[in-house]
Structure 1
């Protein structure tokens, strides 16, 4: 068996110590994420390459075990107990065979989803407690809706001669489920899948910081802005429930100007926010933009769903109504670096390729896309950590602030 490179191992150990010292001093998510990255590199340096590859192709069984434990309600049972629970009690309370529970628990203990206090004695961990919240909706969405398409994606790419998927009506989802509906139309026509997906999305946003908490709104938007209450301040395109604009309203309650949310009629059926100071306008992003001269046109997690050509159509509908020197576009998305991209964002890119088919773009691709429709990038703002960034752009021939 090939011996690990001990020099590399000790080098990673020193790097981890440095990052942990930085994290202890700053409590910065950037330092924490750097330490996590180095810890993975340390593991990889110690691991036999053959074992690493073998474990990779066995890894779907990890998700399978978590899914079964989730279906049996084991995480909830453990989270509700302050002491360890026996395998027999878990089996009795779930109705599953004790040996099956033992085998499933063995995997999720090895994954640190559950703690083990002696043979057959299990307790909750932070991971198992997290599995009782809304974010656990990813388990059902993945297994019941996305996993079949993920498994079919190699065949889809083979049959399409390995072209980058960009057609909304002919991607891996459509190939798998034999439909020409785009993915959101498909969800709308499959109520259970739609409910699973939106429960997951709500779970992802639960506990996340709002954009107004880290983006410099005062200096980039409000300073130098004077308006009447009838003037459009912010237009949130494909806004969903209006959460982001409600966060803005809470943070800046006394700013004059209309705060507008736009989305499709089907999305707005259950959205009631007029009493909260938001104005609803039913609007398709591919249609001409009805609000002229707003200070900000805001798109959060919209453009990653579309090819560059379709993004240009959406953006050109906005640029036609922007006022030079006044209007800005804010785009909130994950940004990939041009090299050494983090695994998490890279996996999100793969999920988008399957589902959209969409794409997580690099900053270089974003700049090129925006310049192709007459926009210039003034600022790219990053939160502390690995969350989405915000790109601020405006029409060309305007001096940057």
Structure 2
């Protein structure tokens, strides 16, 4: 049997042809990645060395050509395994995910990454890793070996473990002694990864266990999180005052903290210039940041367009922190009285009438369609004919090709993967689908374009354009009064 390496395979067996096409895509992606690194006289970061975000080779990983190649490589490799492997083994391997996540959460809570960082590349015997937390070293070794088999940590000798590129990304950046002495502050001021892994391995995994029961519930009134833990859903939890938050479970507090760290890592950055064109708002125009939190989103916009007047709306305790943040980060706007901090519940009538733009960043994904329509209706009631509604949210792509009605929306069309990959790049884009299921567990949802069109229409808005942010599913979704 003969094959054309980069062309169409010469074969009548469809399965073999698919395997070869997928292998070709992987080979081409590797050639692209190696070419970019060779041009820079560098090599791709090795797996069994700790992650160093300041390493120039890591920066090369953000090169657009490398990112595109990595997406194709991951999609093709996953589809190649799914195609070549027998289906029963594939189905059984899915069950690895639950204990793997549980082991990862345990390693993070036991501060294993930080202990190994201090031990250095030679690693540390599991007895010494287990000593500060006084856990069973044999059980910990079994868990770390399971993780190392899945390329998280590196077993350099029997029962001797070291960090690798993946495990070290969970580093909380603090001495291990501090983490053990002040466990209540372990996640304070850290990067998002550890907080999120501990959240996923705690309340999220517990709520996922109730997913089937929730689907089968004819009333469907409780989110999986509510059914599993008895705590408020994501959107409701965000509205608790400090006194109420102190009475919530540890899992609920951890979720709130992890979400805060995630938001810190995913600041607005350059998304303003790459998405909606804020310069089209009139000089002196009013931008209302609904559910603003610290107001970082509107602050980024105001810095670039200082003629805009900004109204940050949220709950009292958050707004006090927002005021301090603006005073420190953009005192000129604050001193000119061009920014206002307004306590407001977005389910109630919008107090700012005739604003030029309403901005909601990662607000609607916390809520069901019914609640989202209520939020957007309140804004539509207060809008003028030229008001723009700008949602910054992730968009869930269909696995199949989008219909013509969706393609007609400017910006709706996204790049599709080359055959025989799934049009949405398969496993390379699976994070958004996991996020959607996670948001369902918390009482909300991520939405497809069709979903956004529907809630806009029912709330009195018309979806007129989508601005895509290169490399991610986060978009600016723009509407005007219908």
| Aligned counterpart, 1:395 | 481
SS for the counterpart of 1:117 is strand
- Alpha-carbon distance change, 58 to 212 in structure 1, aligned in 2, over 3 angstroms: closer
Q: 1:291 to 1:78 in 2, by over 3 A?
A: same
Q: 293, 296, 301: which one pairs with 1:243?
A: 296
CA offset at residue 337 of structure 1? Answer: 1.6
User: In structure 1, what is the equivalent of residue 120 of structure 2?
Assistant: 82
Aligned to 2:50: none
1:140 matches 2:198 = yes
1:316 aligns to 2:377 (yes or no):
yes
Q: CA deviation at 1:152?
A: 1.9
Question: 1:80, 1:86 → 2: CA distance?
Answer: 10
Deviation at 1:286, TM superposition (A): 0.8
Q: Distance in 2 between matches of 1:81 and 1:389?
A: 42
Taking the aligned partners of 2:345 and 2:159, their CA distance within structure 1 comes to 55
Deviation at residue 19 of structure 1 after TM alignment: 4.0
The 3 A distance-change label for structure 1 pair 271 and 69 is same
Is there any run of 5+ residues in structure 1 with no aligned partner, and where?
397-401
Select 2:277's aligned residue among 220, 224, 235.
220
Q: Which residue of 2 aligns with 1:125?
A: 164
TM-score, normalised to structure 1's length? 0.84
Task: Please tell me whether the aligned partners of residues 214 and 383 of structure 1 are also in contact (alpha carbons under 8 angstroms).
Answer: no
The 2-side partners of 1:367 and 1:141 are apart by 32
Distance across 2 between alignment mates of 1:94 and 1:304: 38
Secondary structure of the corresponding residue to residue 158 of structure 2? coil
| Match status 1:353 vs 2:440 | yes
1:248-281 deviation line (CA, Å, top 9, x unaligned)? 234x1x6213112111235435443452434210
SS of the residue 1:367 aligns to: helix
Q: 1:38 aligned to 57, 65, 76, which one?
A: 76
Query: Structure 1 residues 6 and 115 mapped into 2: Cα distance closer, same or farther (>3 Å)?
Result: farther
Correspondent of 1:156 among 214, 219, 225: 214
1:158-307 to structure 2, matched below 5 A, reads 158=216, 160-161=217-218, 165=220, 167=221, 170-178=222-230, 183-184=236-237, 188=245, 189-190=247-248, 192-208=250-266, 210=268, 212-213=270-271, 215-216=273-274, 220-223=277-280, 225-228=281-284, 231-232=285-286, 234-250=287-303, 252=304, 255-268=306-319, 270-273=321-324, 275=327, 276=330, 277=334, 278-307=339-368
Structure 1 residues 378 and 286: alpha-carbon distance in aligned structure 2, compared to 1, 3 A threshold: same
The answer on whether the counterparts of 1:183 and 1:355 sit within 8 Å (CA) in structure 2 is: no
Residue 330 of structure 1 corresponds to which residue in structure 2? 390
Counterpart Cα distance in 1 of 2:232 and 2:137: 45
Contact 1:74 1:94 in 2 (8 A): no
* 1:293-325 per-position Cα deviation (integer Å, ceiling 9, x unaligned): 222211111112222222222112111222223
Map 1:57-136; keep pairs closer than 5 Å.
Answer: 57-87=95-125, 88-133=127-172, 134=191, 135-136=193-194
User: 1:109–1:116: 8 Å Cα contact kept in structure 2?
Assistant: yes
Provide the aligned C-alpha RMSD in A.
Answer: 2.8
Cα distance, 1:235 vs structure 2: 0.9
Unaligned runs of 5+ in 2: 1-13, 37-63, 173-190, 401-423
1:191 Cα deviation after fit:
6.0
- Equivalent-residue separation in structure 2 for 1:173 and 1:20 (angstroms): 41
CA distance in 1 between partners of 2:88 and 2:95 (Å): 11
Structure 2 CA distance for partners of 1:211 and 1:312, relative to 1, 3 Å: farther
- Indicate the larger mover: 328-337 or 311-320: 311-320
